[in-house]
Structure 1
Amino acid sequence: MISLLSGDLILNKSPNAPTLPPAIDADIGSVAINSTTQCRYYREDNPSGRPLVLLHSINAAPSSMEMRPLFEHYRGTRPVVAFDLPGFGISDRPQTGYSAEFFGAAISAMVDSLDGDPPDIIALSLTSEFVARAIVDHGLRCHSLVAISPTGLGERNPPGDKFGENAKRVFSKALIGSSIYSVLRTRPSVRFFLNKAFVGRAPDELVDYAVKTTRQPNARFAALAFLTFSLFSRQAIEALYGRVEVPALVLFDEDPNIGFERLPELLDHHKNWSAKRVSPSRGIPQWELPEATFEALDTFWGAL
């Protein structure tokens, strides 16, 4: 079920809904991904053009603000939608079992709720794995996939299930989980981690909004799930990316948290995948090198 809300004020009676100002000046849609959780998205309708879906990263303080330069650039030329994933941004933040399977199913439900042709999708970082999972496991229909600085292409695998389960048990203790997140959500901490994703200094407006997201009720639940490393998939090329059959593009450079050692392997064995280095950048080129990012995207879509 989809509903449209005002872009100026979020009106929702869900007990899990945050009271966060919009990251993007646009209409806000809402879709139920299950009986308890509403996910919200920014939308710009356009009578022509293939829909474009934007999906932010997963960390301690993400939101569609990360994708705002892409939204602003392509609005007016095609329908554009930027989803806030469950647990983040202006979407509900239930205390639930956040997992790779949960996010894959949520993305499938959110994108499938949209009208129009199968969209082009742009996903940032770990969310690239979730979109691939939505395609492989849930039959998500899309026209193409762009993965910006995606995880799962490095030599190192994430820790195993045992590590994740032990971390979940520790973080599930209210005092411990709250204490850890209270440190992560401080402005110096948010600034520190965002600065790592930029060659220069992270923009103040990006830091400001990230800090605001961490102050919302229940903000810690999805963020702590990320810290357990259980959201990352082992052997992501074999299990996920290699099974995606639509045209796909990797935008990358030097990400301090992500390796790309296996990217040549993906490109060699799966001809639907291509890659473009956007340099110098460290994970969020749409903010740091917007024109180069737009050019890479337009070249990729123009060749389809």
Structure 2
Amino acid sequence: MRLRRLLAGAVGTVAAAELIDRGLRAKASDLPPALPGAQGTYRWRGFDVAYTEAGDPGHPDVVCLHGVHAAASSREFADVFEDLAEDYHVIAPDLPGFGRSDRPPVAYTSSLYESFVTNFLADVADEPVVLGSSLSGSWATVAAERTDVAGLLLVCPTADTGPRRPWLRALMRTPVVGDTVFNAVTSKPSLRFFNERDAFYYPDRVTADVLDYQWRTAHQEGARFAPASFVGGFLDSGIDLGAELADRDCPVTLVWGREATLTSLSVGRSIAEDADARLVVVNETRLVPHAEQPEVFLDAVREDLPLLEHQ
């Protein structure tokens, strides 16, 4: 009788968790495009990868690769996308496993993303300048060895988020427990906390629109699988970023928020020195200076990367 009660309680807990998760996905509904422009789909290894493009296709290509976190998407570039499109042909995908792209329960790894970025740049763009944020900066660095790239503009890039934690990836992929943990991490209070602690310097930059889109993208079907690999440490390229950038033939500019904590400015200075790369420091910003100080960021881009000038 006692075992029966325990089993009944466990079944009830599972059913409740599934109902909550289903209700959150229904409330989030279908995710609208993150950016204004023409919406396209790139078919890659069974994924339908959503991307937005804007600007004159005859202008130089700029490909924007968003960073990685539990609620990541190309919306990260919302404050600079249209301005860049005035002079350039700008293309911004939602990486596989994020945003409006497919999110199957595959094993997401750094090699998967390095291959995706390489193929996307080769197939969709024409010798682009790549604007890569955080981990995407390391994937773009690897891709720049494999395909033609006109320049790398990397914002607080990193290739190492810490040791691998396979148990944590496994936990977050678990149907009931993983859903429950992920829903807690991606609640609006949690998203605001992480944004204010790590991404933005000024709390008022974490607007209701930012939080709403992050919450909605984090509650799509399969949303936890790619972030599970991120927190498990499986998306790190493990390269020596400074040394690899030094080996690239294209111009490299690093942009850093002076108040960044996850990847501090001291790290940025070290990478820039090793790579002999230009380093632009944006005051009163953390990990996303392009979102927090877009005008300053755009001025720095146009001033420090001549290849982005109108041709």
Per-residue deviation at 1:172?
Answer: 3.2
In structure 2, the residue matched to 1:32 is 43
User: Percent identity between the aligned chains?
Assistant: 25
Seen in structure 2, the aligned counterparts of structure 1 residues 215 and 269 have a Cα distance that, compared at 3 Å, is closer
1:127 has 2:136 as partner: yes
Seen in structure 2, the aligned counterparts of structure 1 residues 208 and 171 have a Cα distance that, compared at 3 Å, is closer
C-alpha contact 1:158 1:233 (8 A) present in aligned 2:
no
- Structure with higher helix content: 2
1:217 to 218, 221, 231: 221
Per-residue deviation at 1:267?
Answer: 2.9
In structure 1, the residue matched to 2:148 is 141
1:237-290 residue CA offsets vs partner (Å, 9 max, x unmatched): 26743433311111102212223434334333433x210101110111112111
TM-score of the aligned structures, taking structure 2 as reference length: 0.82
Per-residue deviation at 1:62?
Answer: 0.8
Per-residue deviation at 1:122?
Answer: 0.4
3-state SS of 2:220 partner: coil
3-state SS of 2:250 partner: coil
Matched residue type, 2:150: H
1:287 to 273, 284, 291: 291
1:257 has 2:257 as partner: no
Seen in structure 2, the aligned counterparts of structure 1 residues 195 and 276 have a Cα distance that, compared at 3 Å, is same
C-alpha contact 1:129 1:236 (8 A) present in aligned 2:
no
3-state SS of 2:253 partner: strand
Per-residue deviation at 1:45?
Answer: 3.9
Inter-partner Cα distance in structure 2 for 1:262 and 1:195: 21
Matched residue type, 1:263: G
Gaps of 5+ in 1: 1-17
Seen in structure 2, the aligned counterparts of structure 1 residues 48 and 215 have a Cα distance that, compared at 3 Å, is same
Matched residue type, 2:76: E
In structure 1, the residue matched to 2:13 is none
1:86-119 residue CA offsets vs partner (Å, 9 max, x unmatched): 011111111111011011111112121125x301
Gaps of 5+ in 2: 1-28
Alignment size in residue pairs? 276
Matched residue type, 2:240: A
In structure 2, the residue matched to 1:170 is 171
TM-score of the aligned structures, taking structure 1 as reference length: 0.84
Inter-partner Cα distance in structure 1 for 2:227 and 2:53: 25
Inter-partner Cα distance in structure 2 for 1:99 and 1:50: 30
Q: How does 1:44-123 map onto structure 2 within 5 Å?
A: 44-115=54-125, 117-123=126-132
Bigger Rg, which one: 2
3-state SS of 1:113 partner: helix
2:201 to 199, 208, 215: 199
Q: RMSD of the TM alignment (CA)?
A: 2.0
Inter-partner Cα distance in structure 2 for 1:238 and 1:185: 33
3-state SS of 1:287 partner: helix
Matched residue type, 1:31: Y
Matched residue type, 1:175: V
Seen in structure 2, the aligned counterparts of structure 1 residues 32 and 239 have a Cα distance that, compared at 3 Å, is farther
Per-residue deviation at 1:168?
Answer: 2.8
3-state SS of 1:30 partner: strand
Inter-partner Cα distance in structure 2 for 1:257 and 1:54: 21
Matched residue type, 1:37: F
Inter-partner Cα distance in structure 2 for 1:178 and 1:142: 39
Seen in structure 2, the aligned counterparts of structure 1 residues 141 and 283 have a Cα distance that, compared at 3 Å, is same
C-alpha contact 2:77 2:290 (8 A) present in aligned 1:
yes
Inter-partner Cα distance in structure 2 for 1:43 and 1:130: 21
Inter-partner Cα distance in structure 2 for 1:195 and 1:267: 26
In structure 2, the residue matched to 1:150 is 157
In structure 1, the residue matched to 2:241 is 237
C-alpha contact 1:48 1:77 (8 A) present in aligned 2:
no
Matched residue type, 2:151: S
Seen in structure 2, the aligned counterparts of structure 1 residues 303 and 27 have a Cα distance that, compared at 3 Å, is closer
